[in-house]
């Protein structure tokens, strides 16, 4: 089958297996070129490991410090006339590359929120690795079926308290328009926290701890976002921001658990706004990202997921100098994004952006390139007119 991108709003419904593999290889090459992270992690569980920040974390661990990795994700394999999701192809490519270098890599494709996947992962850690010294929690999900109540909670991206109107961009069509989003009700706020808050992270750590599968000194990290004031009503102060507050609460409780367990640690890393499948679904944020990319690329400080996580692992987590925390106890690898000169330019450009000025004032072209890359399109060296088998097995 010849696979071309089919973009529908903020998703692409096709993915290219060879392109996804090339994208994964780019990230692996980046990490290898940086050289070994000497005191890096050795046995790592990544929950949400198939795309975005989780995939970057798995690549950093495996190819930066030779770690054995177990990846958990929720992806769809190919069907006779349908490609797999990019996370499926990414995981296949990652696993093949890891095995080629003699690295242990196992995968669990299923619902990380379920007791069943947790039990299967725990049994495999016990059998194959003994213990893990790093647990990365990098889920971004629209829903969660609670393992104890059976209730399915759906997350939403809404402001809290009052409606919010701002500009947003249809990244596919290049049209800038105003959007008004009505505030969430109490049930929607609670549901979003149930999905994207910290309870499931705590469940994972408690289960690992009870089964004595956390190595002494083990680290756990989860990812969050804060961003500029222009997005606060929809992000930091919206339903997702409240869920992230709950993730911060969980970080403190998990940190206490891990401290008892041989001086381990848990923390939140606040990461940069980047094009991922999760962020492209948030209103207003893709327009901000398009402006941000333009400014940071001009300043030479632009980073993608791989650069961000490589810096987190090398400089902060395993640099030997200890973690640098902000006043709220979070690590900030969004530091370059939040620099005052960068944000002053965002504030200056924002009012002038409209459909006509979008190509000049923002890096909408770079946004689209990055977006298509997530699905394996636009990678150099790939013949996109060639017939390719969409069926790819993830090596076991
Ligand atoms: P992503 O959409 O690229 O990745 C999400 C991952 O979660 C995938 O591996 C997917 O398979 C997995 N997943 C989703 N539901 C699952 C389930 N039920 N069971 C198992 N796996 C499941 O997302 P991302 O943007 O990399 O986000 C990861 C984390 O980083 C999130 O907490 C997000 O808030 C945070 N973050 C993102 C940004 C950004 O701009 N993208 C910035 C800062 C922080």
Domain membership of residue 70 (yes or no) is: yes
Could you tell me if the CB of 72 is within 6 A of ligand 1? yes
* Mean pLDDT on 78-82: 94
Annotate 370-384 with b (16+ C-beta within 10 A) or e (fewer): bbbbbbbbbbeebeb
pLDDT of 262 higher than 90: no
Does residue 224 form part of some domain? yes
* C-beta of 91 in contact with ligand 1 (< 6 A): no
Q: Look at 46 and 280; give whichever has higher pLDDT.
A: 46
Check pocket membership of 271 for ligand 1, CB cut-off 6 A: yes
316-331 pLDDT, tens per residue?
999 988 899 999 999 9
Alpha helices by DSSP H, listed for the chain, are: 17-33, 52-59, 65, 86-100, 115-124, 186-196, 199-210, 239-260, 285-299, 305-311, 340-349, 358-361, 364-374
> Does ligand 1 lie within 6 Å of residue 306's CB atom?
no
Q: What pLDDT does residue 263 have?
A: 81
Residue 85 has a pLDDT of 98
Task: Report pLDDT for 198.
Answer: 98
Would you call 235 a catalytic residue per the annotation? yes
Confidence of residue 304 (pLDDT cuts 50, 70, 90): very high
Examine residue 218 and state whether it is found in any structural domain, yes or no.
yes
DSSP SS3 for 180 = strand
Q: Cα(277) to centroid of ligand 1, in Å? A: 8
Average pLDDT on 152-164 reads 97
CA 243 to centroid of ligand 1, rounded, Å: 14
- The average pLDDT across 356-370 equals 97
Among 10, 12, 48, residue to substitute to test ligand 1 (most atoms within 8 Å of Cβ): 48
Q: How confident is the model at residue 261 (pLDDT cuts 50, 70, 90)?
A: confident
Closest CA to 108 of 139, 75, 151, 133: 75
Does the residue 308 lie in any domain? yes
Q: What is the CATH number of the domain that holds 142?
A: 3.40.50.720
pLDDT band at 267; cut points 50, 70, 90: very high
Tell me how far the alpha carbon of residue 141 lies from the centroid of ligand 1, in angstroms. 7
Ligand 1 pocket, 113 CB below 6 A? Answer: yes
Residue 120 CA, chain-centre distance (Å), reads 23
User: Taking Cα atoms as reference points, which of 358, 196, 183 lies closest to residue 278?
Assistant: 196
Find the mean pLDDT for residues 267-274. 98
Ligand 1 in reach of 88 Cβ (< 6 A): no
- Does pLDDT of 185 surpass 90? yes
Residue 297 placed within a domain: no
User: Which residue owns the Cα nearest ligand 1 atom 30?
Assistant: 223
Tokens 């999760």 map to which residue? Answer: 278
pLDDT score of 154 more than 90: yes
Regarding pTM above 0.95, the answer is: yes
Q: Which domain holds residue 121?
A: 7-158+188-284+303-339
In a domain, 298, yes or no: no
- Residue minimizing CA distance to atom 24 of ligand 1: 52
Task: Single out the catalytic residue among 235, 288, 318, 367.
Answer: 235
Spacing, Cα 202 to ligand 1 middle (Å): 17
Q: Is residue 209 part of a domain?
A: yes
What letters, b where the CB count within 10 A reaches 16 and e where it falls short, cover 250-261?
A: bbeebbebbeeb
How many angstroms is it from 361 CA to the middle of ligand 1? 29
C-alpha 147: how far from chain center: 23
**What is the pLDDT at residue 113?**
98
Both tokens of 393, joined, read 């097995």
Counted domains in the chain: 1
Please work out whether the CB of residue 51 comes within 6 Å of at least one atom of ligand 1: yes
Does 277 reside within a domain? yes
């Amino acid at each position: 089958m010849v696979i071309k991108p089919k973009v529908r709003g903020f998703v692409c419904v096709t993915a290219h297996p060879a392109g996804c593999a090339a994208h994964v290889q780019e990230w692996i090459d980046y990490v290898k070129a940086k050289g070994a992270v000497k005191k890096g992690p050795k046995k790592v569980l990544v929950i949400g490991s198939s795309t975005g920040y989780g995939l970057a974390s798995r690549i950093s661990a495996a190819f930066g410090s030779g770690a054995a990795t177990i990846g958990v994700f929720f992806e769809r394999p190919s069907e006779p006339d349908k490609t797999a999701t990019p996370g499926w192809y990414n995981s296949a490519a990652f696993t093949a590359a890891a095995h080629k270098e003699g690295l242990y890599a196992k995968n669990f494709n299923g619902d990380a929120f379920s007791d069943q996947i947790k039990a299967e992962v725990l049994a495999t850690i016990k059998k194959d690795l003994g213990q893990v010294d790093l647990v990365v929690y990098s889920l971004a999900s629209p829903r969660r079926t609670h393992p104890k109540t059976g209730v399915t909670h759906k997350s939403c991206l809404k402001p809290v308290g009052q409606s919010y109107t701002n500009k947003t961009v249809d990244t596919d069509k290049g049209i800038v328009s105003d959007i008004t989003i009505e505030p969430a009700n109490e049930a929607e706020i609670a549901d979003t926290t149930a999905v994207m808050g910290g309870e499931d992270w705590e469940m994972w750590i408690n289960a690992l701890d009870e089964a004595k599968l956390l190595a002494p000194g083990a680290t756990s990290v989860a990812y969050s976002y804060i961003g500029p004031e222009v997005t606060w009503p929809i992000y930091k102060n919206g339903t997702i921001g409240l869920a992230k507050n709950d993730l911060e609460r969980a970080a403190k409780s998990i940190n206490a658990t891990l401290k008892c367990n041989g001086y381990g640690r848990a923390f939140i890393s606040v990461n940069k706004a980047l094009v991922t499948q999760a962020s492209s679904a948030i209103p207003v944020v893709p327009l901000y990202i398009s402006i941000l990319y333009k400014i940071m690329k001009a300043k030479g400080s632009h980073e993608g997921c791989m650069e961000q996580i490589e810096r987190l692992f090398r400089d902060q987590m395993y640099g030997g100098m200890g973690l640098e925390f902000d006043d709220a106890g979070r690590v900030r690898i969004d530091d370059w994004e939040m620099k005052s000169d960068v944000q002053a330019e965002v504030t200056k450009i924002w009012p002038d952006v409209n459909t006509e000025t979008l190509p000049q004032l923002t890096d909408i072209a770079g946004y689209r390139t990055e977006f298509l890359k997530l699905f394996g399109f636009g990678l150099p060296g790939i013949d996109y007119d060639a017939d390719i088998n969409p069926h790819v097995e993830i090596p076991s």
